[in-house]
Amino acid sequence: MEKVIVTVGPALFKDEMLKRVHNSSYIYRINGAHGSIDDIKNNVLFIRSEIPEAQILIDLPGNKVRTKNINLPIKLQVGTEFTLTNKDVNYSNFFDHLKIGDTIWANDSTLKFEVLSVNSTEVQLLSHSCGDLKTNKGLHVRGIHKNIPFFFEKDLELIQLAKDLFVSHVGLSFVRDIDDINLAKSLIDTEIQIIPKVETLSAVENLDEIIKSVDVINVDRGDLSTDVGIEKIYSYQKFIIERANLYHKKVFLATQFFMNMVEKPVPTIAEINDFHSCIKLGIYGIQLSEETAIGLYPKEVLNVVNNVVSEIKLEKMNFAV
């Protein structure tokens, strides 16, 4: 494993933490789904003020439908009915794609809703889960994604920002086929490296043509598991990595490597074992998200990553002898 995509956020923006953890193998990721265009611009400039040579990735939010304007979390229990209007989502035509009986998975599949009624301006939902629905959380309905535009307005604004600031990488969210790749290339058309994220069933179905068109891909296990079913995610990630390796393309793997370390200073044994297994599948790198963006122990997370990678390299040297 050669690289780590490190998502930045409050945890790394305090107490000169960036300078303290910096490693030349890191690519610093700014999640375009969070914050305004000005916020994201300021984050790029802050990273460069701390680490002038930093590689920076602006990850486009893509056409993921998200809640917005929910000032207070909607408290949900099993059996709760509630309404969302088209002012409560970032894609005003979302409800046109829904029908009675559809299942909406929210907040990385931790919340499940059933559509009771729907028209062009509002949807009535029945909750099958307990929890809080907050603003800026994803809303996913399987099977409708191919009918939604690839770029939303914020994506186009962020592409222009990436070009203006000469960042090194742009992440493409919810890629479906080669047409999405070609559209992105026509808009970016610079030395910026695009990294398409394989996180939809459509992307898997069109995987070979996507892989052939780029040098590197990123497999986002979180959103992909929402689309294909979480019980199938291991088989899918293994298949995608094997195809990328077949074409000698670099592949990152993202989502929930060390979630225990968001709140605790050590990983679980299961997390360490999974990380070992993923590296041995032949990945080029991983992406850390909450662990380094908002977690309590970003330095410790990165230490764990570096120590495991060193341990695996040592194992290879010992076996070689």
pLDDT at position 257 over 70: yes
pLDDT in tens, 229-251: 899 999 999 999 999 999 999 99
Buried b / exposed e across 297-320, counting CB within 10 Å, b at 16+?
A: bbebbbebbeebbeeeeeeeeeee
In this prediction, residue 100 has a pLDDT band, given cuts at 50, 70 and 90, of very high
Domains of the chain: total = 2
* CA-to-CA separations, 52 to 24, 40, 97, 178, in angstroms, rounded: 12, 17, 45, 34
pLDDT digits (tens, 9 = 90+) for 129-158: 999 999 999 999 988 877 899 999 999 999
Which residue, of 112, 146, 180, is where some domain finishes?
Answer: 146
Structure tokens at 310: 């060193």
Report the CATH number at residue 160. 3.20.20.60
Same domain, 138 and 155: no
Nearest to 26 by CA among 302, 248, 307: 302
In a domain, 221, yes or no: yes
CA–CA dist 217, 242 (Å, integer): 12
* pLDDT value for 186: 96
**3-class DSSP state of 242:** helix
Average pLDDT of the segment spanning 1-24: 95
Confidence of residue 108 (pLDDT cuts 50, 70, 90): confident
The pLDDT tens digits of the residues spanning 274-319 come to 999 999 999 999 999 999 999 999 999 999 999 999 998 887 666 6
| pLDDT value at residue 249 | 98
Is residue 68 assigned to a domain?
Answer: no
**pLDDT value for 320:** 57
166-215 pLDDT per residue, tens: 999 999 999 999 999 999 999 998 899 999 999 999 999 999 999 999 99
pLDDT band at 52 (very low <50, low <70, confident <90, very high): very high
Mean pLDDT of the chain: 94
Express as a percent the part of the chain with pLDDT over 70.
98
Asked whether the beta carbons of 41 and 63 are under 8 A apart, the reply is: no
According to the model, what pLDDT value does residue 255 have? 94
Both 130 and 251 in one domain: the answer is no
Distance of CA 284 to the CA centre of its chain: 17
Instruction: State residue 319's pLDDT score.
Output: 60
- Write down the pLDDT at residue 10: 96
Same domain? For 141 and 244 the reply is no
Lowest mean pLDDT among 112-116, 161-165, 166-170, 190-194: 190-194
Host domain of residue 295: 3-63+150-320
Q: Is residue 281 part of a domain?
A: yes
Which pLDDT score, from 0 to 100, does residue 42 have?
98
Distance separating the N- and C-terminal Cα atoms of the chain? 21
283 and 165 part of one domain:
yes
Same domain, yes or no: 132 and 273: no
